[in-house]
Structure 1
Amino acid sequence: MLLTAHDPPKPASRRYLRIGAWIAVVLVVVGVLALIADDFAASRAEHRLARAVQASPGVPFEPDVIMAGFPFLAHRSEGNFSSVLISADGVPIEGCSGVPVCTSTVDARLQSTDLGPTGDLGPRTELRAQSMRTETRINSPTLGRLMGIVDLYINTPAPEDKVGGGGPGDGLLERTEGIMLSGTVPLPGSPETQNGYPPSAAKYTAPKVKVSVKARVSVVDGRVRIEATDFYTGPEEHYSADVPEEFRSAVLKRFSTTLPALQMAWGTTAKHALSRGSDLVAVSETGPVSVRAVDYAKPLPSRP
């Protein structure tokens, strides 16, 4: 006998539909609970490693930690993750006076890691990785304090041949040359401050100039070197001023310096530097490493 569209489904069919619906609901609930459990376990392990890194004398705050591996529960017993990212804010910069203390952000990315059981992570746990990239980032105000230019600002212009460069799809641009630095500096013969006011202040009335310059960055003996090469005249929004010819070299020199040694993760030495957005970044890359969390940011050795 054939059923028509007006014939009601049999009780058995309705029962199977209900069972199927309940099974689907149960599977969804189990999946959600599994994700919650996995996220919770990952969060606990990341917090444990973060607290271990904070035991380092140069790390004042609990850093951000991300362990890349899904599902996390499948990785926690061995501690094998494709990458582990650690980012510590507020790490002091030696050689920078004044209040508040100058600080940097010290990052490390460990690739193909072996952390051991994540439940045992502590300050002295050996963290092994096939490679490591470390970065130390300084923002514009901090760099300005290090250079004695209170209103200094870093800008990373898009390449001249890249239409629409710097848009959302590009992320933060990076450069080692053609970096734009803007700020106010005294002209030769003017004081560094006037009645306690820096050149960028309205109450500083001595001859000064606010300009934008092009600069390149490099690393010499592990320290970041900034060298202003010319005045900026490109398409980015910038500051222009009529600098007398006899003062041009002196003004450019004010935007050139060698920074103090920067704290880098696990005592690595900067190999190259670049600008990223409005930050200055010192970078180092190494091969296989075995490090301890407590040594993340130790006091820098004194330099002659």
Structure 2
Amino acid sequence: MPGIRKVLVIAVTVAVVAAGSVLLVDVGAAIRSEHRLARALAESPRVPFDPEVTLAGFPFLTQASKGDYSGATIAARGVELPGCEPARGICRGELGATLGRFQGPERGDFTGSDVLHTSSISAYTRLDAVTLARYLRITDLTVSTPAPDGKAGGGGPQDGVVSRSEGVVFTGTVALPPDAGLAADDPPSASSFTGPKVRVSVAVDLSVSDGALEIRATDFYTGPERHVDADVPEQMRAAVLDRFSMVLPPLPMAWGLVAQRAESFGGDVQLVADSGPAGLRPGRF
């Protein structure tokens, strides 16, 4: 019996080591292919750094041997966006995409000129509060997504809500009157502007107009989420709301998709587009 147990222990150990080795080889191959795809995507002239790429599915080697992949997620950060005044800084955003099942080169040897035939694509262009602040010229702008009515929290994943298109809360400082401090050589109202100013929270609706992000402030926000209470003279209330409203210039999206809707994403705002089957060249991301 002791001899049998010893044989069983050795057999189990060998099997575990073999399985671990196979797993390591598979993971290593996936990492290599993700790097190859990231480098191929970085051939796009608007992608300044290698994007983050994750190839879906396991085992990876089975997919790669056939050139038939379960899917991929891509996030390219630091992409320059149009329409920002140079004095306010460069506007940059994150371009991302999720590919459904797609066919590509075998062994994961991706290049910029390959054509990836995907069953679906979901793309987004995401702007953080710093970038939105530069567009709106409200330097201390913050964005938050309120939780549903009657529920505590900030509207994050713990609340079952990660985004919304109406009632997003923008908080920031504007001059009084609101058109003061907007000359090209004037400082932003929230920093070194020396005139009267006020910090307020407003509720905004996000939408898409001809593919462009439209931000429209509908009213001052008074709770229950974290906000700023401030007295704004009645004759200036409409003008203050206007300072939080804007239609941005058309922004780039992955593979030239046109935005279909807009939504908040935690403390960011994003444009989203979905498409069916498509042939995509990584170098044209």
Tell me if TM exceeds 0.5: yes
Q: CA deviation at 1:263?
A: 1.2
Q: Decide whether the 8 Å contact of 1:194 with 1:204 is kept in 2.
A: no
Q: State whether structure 2 residue 64 is matched by structure 1 residue 73.
A: no
Q: Give RMSD over aligned pairs.
A: 1.8
* 1:87-130 per-position Cα deviation (integer Å, ceiling 9, x unaligned): 10111001213375211000011111112314431001001111
User: CA, structure 1 residues 76+194, in 2 after alignment: closer, same or farther (shift >3 Å)?
Assistant: closer
Check 1:171–1:32 CA distance in 2 against 1; reply closer, same or farther (3 A cut): farther
What amino acid does structure 2 have at the position aligned with 1:277? G
- List per-residue Cα deviations over 1:18-45 (Å, max 9, x = no partner): 1111101101111111111010000001
Task: State the shift of 1:82 in Å.
Answer: 2.5
Return structure 1 stretches of 4+ with deviation > 6 angstroms: none
Amino-acid identity (%): 43
Q: Conserved in 2, the CA contact under 8 Å of 1:190 and 1:208?
A: no
Q: Which secondary structure state, in structure 1, belongs to the residue aligned with residue 70 of structure 2?
A: strand
**Equivalent residue for 1:63, pick from 51, 54, 59:** 51
Alignment-derived partner of residue 6 in structure 1: none
Q: Does structure 1 residue 198 correspond to structure 2 residue 188?
A: yes
Determine the structure 1 residue equivalent to 2:110.
121
Q: What's the secondary structure of 1:157's corresponding residue?
A: coil
Query: Given the superposition, is the C-alpha separation of residues 168 and 283 from structure 1 closer, same or farther in structure 2, using an over 3 Å criterion?
Result: closer
- Residue 186 of structure 1 pairs with residue 165 of structure 2: no
Task: Tell me the secondary structure at the aligned position of residue 134 of structure 1.
Answer: strand
Larger radius of gyration: 1
Question: Aligned to 1:75, what secondary structure does the other structure show?
Answer: helix
Find out whether 1:269 has 2:258 as its counterpart: yes
Unaligned runs of 5+ in 1: 1-12, 297-304
Q: Is 2:273 the counterpart of 1:284?
A: yes
Asked if the contact 2:181/2:187 (under 8 Å) is kept, the reply is no
Q: What is the total number of aligned residue pairs between the two structures?
A: 283
In structure 1, what is the Cα distance between the partners aligned to 2:210 and 2:96?
21
The answer to whether structure 1 residue 231 and structure 2 residue 205 are counterparts is no
Task: Confirm whether residue 49 of structure 1 aligns to residue 33 of structure 2.
Answer: no
After superposition, the Cα gap between the structure-2 partners of 1:194 and 1:218, relative to the gap in structure 1 and judged at 3 Å, is closer
Which is worse superposed, 248-257 or 13-22?
Answer: 13-22
Cα distance in 2 for partners of 1:142, 1:220 equals: 20
Q: Give TM-score, length-normalised by structure 1.
A: 0.88
Pick which of 27-36 and 116-125 moved more. 116-125
Asked if 1:40 corresponds to 2:28, the answer is yes
Residue matched to 1:101: 90
Superposition deviation, residue 171 in structure 1: 6.2
Structure 2 contact 147–161 (Cα < 8 Å) conserved: no
Counterpart of 1:92 (choices 58, 65, 80) is 80
Q: 1:31 to 1:166 in 2, by over 3 A?
A: same
What amino acid is aligned across from residue 58 of structure 1 in structure 2?
R
1:184: Cα distance to partner?
0.5
Superposition TM-score, scaled by structure 2 size: 0.94
Contact residue 145 and residue 154 of structure 2 kept, 8 A: no
User: Does structure 1 conserve the Cα–Cα contact (< 8 Å) formed by 2:146 and 2:155?
Assistant: yes
Query: One-letter code of the match for 1:16?
Result: I
Mark the CA change 1:194 to 1:115 in structure 2 (over 3 Å): closer, same or farther. Answer: closer
Unpaired runs of at least 5, structure 2: none
8 Å contact kept, 1:50–1:65: yes
Q: Which aligned pairs between 1:159-170 and structure 2 lie closer than 5 A?
A: 159-162=148-151, 166=155, 169-170=158-159
CA distance in 2 between partners of 1:107 and 1:172 (Å): 20
1:216 counterpart SS class: strand
| Deviation (angstroms), 1:195 | 8.0
2:283 corresponding residue in structure 1: 294
Offset of residue 262 of structure 1: 1.0
- Cα displacement (A) at 1:230: 0.2
Matches of 2:253 and 2:67 in 1, distance apart?
Answer: 24
One-letter code aligned to 1:61? F
Letter in 1 for 2:65: S
Three-state SS of the structure 1 residue aligned to 2:100 is strand
Task: Decide whether the 8 Å contact of 2:100 with 2:119 is kept in 1.
Answer: yes
Between 1:242-251 and 1:204-213, the stretch displaced more is: 204-213
Q: CA deviation at 1:16?
A: 1.4
